Amino acid sequence: MTDQTKPVPPQADKSRVLIFDTTLRDGEQSPGATMTHNEKLEIAELLDEMGVDIIEAGFPIASEGDFEAVTEIAQRAKSSVICGLARANFKDIDRCWEAVKHAKSPRIHTFIGTSPLHRAIPNLDMDEMAERIHDTVTHARNLCDNVQWSPMDATRTETDYLKRVVEIAIKAGATTINIPDTVGYTAPRESADIIRMLIESVPGADEVVFATHCHNDLGMATANALAAVEGGARQIECTINGLGERAGNTALEEVVMALKVRHDIMPYHTGVDATKIMHISRRVATVSGFAVQYNKAIVGKNAFAHESGIHQDGMLKNAETFEIMRPEDVGLSETSIVMGKHSGRAALRAKLKELGYELADNQLNDVFVRFKALADRKKEVFEDDLIALMRDYTGQDVEEHLEIKFLRVICGTEAPQSADLTIRVGEEDRQITAQGDGPVDAVFNAVKEAFPHGARLNVYQVHAVTEGTDAQATVSVRMEEDGRIVTGEAADTDTVVASAKAYVKALNRLLVRRQKSDPDADVKTVSYKDAG
C-alpha cells in the first residue's frame, strides 16, 4: 500500500466540509459533455489548484480513454485526493485501483443501487446484496486505505435496509459513506434527516465521513446538499456549473459561496479558493460545450449585472445595497477594461493573467497575433472578447485534420445562398461551392461535400460576446454519429465564419472519437462506415 492521506474525519474539525468534485465523472456523463484527454487534465489541474479536496477523475473500467485520463490525473495531482469510480465487482475495483494507485492520495469509490428498483436489476435479494457489499468493500479496502461506498438511489431505499447496508460497508472498511439522491427526489428536510438518522443509529458511523451527492431534477440539489451538512454530512459532492446527467448535480460554486456568504447561519467552511471559480467555470463551459445560462447563480453572465435604474443608483451609492457578495470574491474582475489595437504584448499578458490565463512566451506570441487581428476589426476589445479568443485558442488541442482556409458567402433576400470554401482535408486543399437554405446551411453543405460524414447536427447556437454590431459571435454546435456526441465552439466577428470554424472543430473531435472507439479503422476516409 502507498502512503495515503486519510480524509479529514468529521470529529477532527466539525466545521470543515470536504469538497468532492465529480465534474470529470458525473459531469462528463452528461450526454454531449465529453471532454478530450488534455481537457480533462487541464480541469483536474485547476480543481487541484483551487483547493478541491477530492477529485473524482473518471470511471476507469468504462473505457480505455477514461482509464488513461484517471491514471494521468493521479500521476500529476499535487494536493487533491484522486478518486475513481467502480461498480460492485472485483474487476471494476481492480481496474480502478490500477488507475488511482499512482496518486499521492488515492481513493476507490465503489457503489451499488440499493433501492427496490435498483436491486431488481442485478436480481439480488436483500441478503445477496448485503453479501456483495461486504465482499466488494473488503476487496477495495485490501487495495486502498481510502474507500468510499455509495448506496445508489439511497433516498428511495427502505430506511432499515439503508441502515443495514451502511453498517456492513463501515464494518468492511469504508472510510466515507456517500448518500446519493440519484434521481433528485429528496427535499431539504428529508436530506438532513436521512444523514442525521444514519449518524445517530448506525454503529461505527462516527468513525467515517458522511457525504451527500444530490441531483437537480427538482432544482433542489444545492439546498439538499446544504441541508445534509446541517444533518452531519461533511463531504459535498458537486460539479462545476452544476454539470451532470439530466438537470445536473449540485453546483460547486453555489455551495462554496453559500457557506461563505451565510456563514452566520451555516458555520462551516471549505478549503476552496473561491476567487478561482470564474475561470474554471468558463473553462468547463468551453470544454464541455455546455454554456452557462445567463441567470445562473454565481457564474452566470448576469449574476452581478445590475440593469434597472433603481439598482444601478443603489449600487453606485453603496454596492451592498443589492450585492451580497462582490464580483471579485469569485474571481470576476471589477472592470472590463477595454484593450485596443495599440495595446502591446505586456498589456495583453497582464490582462490575460488577470483573467486566469498564464501563457508561455510562444503561446503569447500566437495569441497576440490573433488579438491584433481582432483589434483591427473591432474598435474595442473587452474582457469577454479575450475570453472568447482564448477559448478558441485553447480549444485546438485536437489534431486539425480539417482546416478552413478561405470562405466567401453570398447571402441576402435572393435565394439561393451559396458558399465558396477552400478547406484543407489532411494534406490536400479542396475547393467547393455549395448552396443552402441560408448562409450557414450553405457553408455546412460545402464542408460536408469536401468531407462526407454521417454526423447529425443536434444543436446550433449563436451568442453575441459583447454588445454592438461589431461584436464577436460565439457559435456552439453539437453533433452526433453512432452515439458519439461531440461539440465545437468558435468565435469571430463574422457569425458565418464562427459557424464554419465551430462545425469543423466538432468534426475534428469526431475523428478523435472515431479512432478511440474503432482503433483499427481508417477513420479519416470518406468511406468510413458509409459516411455521407
Binding site for Zn ion (CB under 5 A): 26
**How are strands ordered across the β-sheet holding 473-481?**
456-464, 473-481, 484-492
Output the smallest distance, CB 61 to Zn ion, in A: 17
Picked from ligand KIV, Zn ion, none, the partner binding residue 66 (CB below 5 to 8 A depending on kind) is: none
* Phi/psi at 465 (5° precision): -75, -45
Cβ closer to ligand KIV: 87 or 391? 87
Cβ closer to ligand KIV: 162 or 278? 162
C-alpha cell belonging to residue 91: 474487476
Nearest to 47 by CA among 31, 68, 25, 24: 24
Picked from Zn ion, ligand KIV, none, the partner binding residue 510 (CB below 5 to 8 A depending on kind) is: none
Cβ closer to ligand KIV: 213 or 282? 213
C-alpha cell belonging to residue 15: 466545521
Nearest to 229 by CA among 6, 9, 7, 10: 10
Output the smallest distance, CB 152 to ligand KIV, in A: 4
Cβ closer to ligand KIV: 152 or 256? 152
Picked from Zn ion, ligand KIV, none, the partner binding residue 56 (CB below 5 to 8 A depending on kind) is: none
Can you point out the beta strands (E) in 218-309? 235-238
Picked from ligand KIV, Zn ion, none, the partner binding residue 150 (CB below 5 to 8 A depending on kind) is: ligand KIV
Output the smallest distance, CB 386 to ligand KIV, in A: 36
DSSP symbols for 56-100? EEE-TTT-HHHHHHHHHHHHH-SSSEEEEEEESSHHHHHHHHHHH
Cβ closer to ligand KIV: 237 or 383? 237
Picked from Zn ion, ligand KIV, none, the partner binding residue 444 (CB below 5 to 8 A depending on kind) is: none
Output the smallest distance, CB 153 to ligand KIV, in A: 6
Task: Kindly give, in sequence order, each residue whose CB lies less than 8 Å from that of residue 456, ignoring residues fewer than 6 positions away.
Answer: 479, 480, 481
Picked from Zn ion, ligand KIV, none, the partner binding residue 283 (CB below 5 to 8 A depending on kind) is: none
Output the smallest distance, CB 157 to ligand KIV, in A: 11
Output the smallest distance, CB 502 to Zn ion, in A: 30
| Burial environment of residue 434 by CB neighbours within 10 A (0 to 12, 13 to 18, 19 or more) | buried
Sequence letter at residue 206:
D
Cβ closer to Zn ion: 26 or 72? 26
Picked from ligand KIV, Zn ion, none, the partner binding residue 290 (CB below 5 to 8 A depending on kind) is: none
Output the smallest distance, CB 104 to ligand KIV, in A: 24
Output the smallest distance, CB 342 to Zn ion, in A: 50
Q: Tell the residue number behind the cell numbers 462554496, with chain if given.
A: 256
Cβ closer to Zn ion: 26 or 39? 26
Picked from ligand KIV, Zn ion, none, the partner binding residue 111 (CB below 5 to 8 A depending on kind) is: ligand KIV
Cβ closer to ligand KIV: 92 or 492? 92
Picked from ligand KIV, Zn ion, none, the partner binding residue 152 (CB below 5 to 8 A depending on kind) is: ligand KIV
How crowded is residue 118: how many other Cβ atoms within 10 Å of its Cβ? 19
- DSSP H helices, 298-354, are 309-317, 345-354
The whole-angstrom separation of Cα 495 and Cα 315 is 35
Output the smallest distance, CB 278 to ligand KIV, in A: 26
Picked from Zn ion, ligand KIV, none, the partner binding residue 445 (CB below 5 to 8 A depending on kind) is: none
DSSP symbols for 365-427? HHHHHHHHHHHHH-S-B-HHHHHHHHHHHHT--S--SEEEEEEEEE-SSSSPEEEEEEEEETT
Question: Where along the sequence are the contacts to ligand KIV (CB under 6 A)?
Answer: 26, 111, 150, 152, 180, 182, 213, 215
The whole-angstrom separation of Cα 274 and Cα 486 is 30
The whole-angstrom separation of Cα 217 and Cα 349 is 42
Cβ closer to Zn ion: 284 or 386? 284
Output the smallest distance, CB 150 to ligand KIV, in A: 4
Cβ closer to ligand KIV: 114 or 281? 114
